[in-house]
């Protein structure tokens, strides 16, 4: 199954991997924060990263990656 996290991550595997300390596994965090609007934003941000890489602009790529990671941090962790 392709989707949240690649071919080896399924809802069943995510549930089975829940930690003993009660922490929410990544898959559950991702599922709770998913929306079509966010998917489009992630796609746009990934395209920006790719555009920088194709232009061989390392500083641009770095900034685009950091911006995308900040978006993920805000969406998953609320910070």
Q: What is the pLDDT of residues 50-65, one digit of tens each?
A: 999 999 999 999 999 9
pLDDT at site 9: 44
Do the Cβ atoms of 9 and 30 come closer than 8 Å? no
pLDDT at site 19: 57
Q: Which residues of the chain fall short of a pLDDT of 50?
A: 1-16
pLDDT at site 25: 74
User: Would you mind telling me the total number of residues written for the chain in this entry?
Assistant: 79
């Amino acid at each position: 199954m392709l989707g949240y996290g690649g071919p080896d991550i399924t809802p069943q595997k995510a549930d089975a991997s829940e930690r003993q300390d009660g922490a929410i596994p990544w898959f559950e965090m991702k599922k709770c924060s998913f929306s079509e609007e966010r998917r489009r934003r992630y796609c746009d941000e990934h395209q920006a990263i790719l555009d920088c890489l194709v232009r061989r602009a390392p500083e641009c790529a770095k900034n685009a990656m950091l911006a995308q990671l900040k978006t993920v941090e805000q969406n998953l962790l609320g910070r």
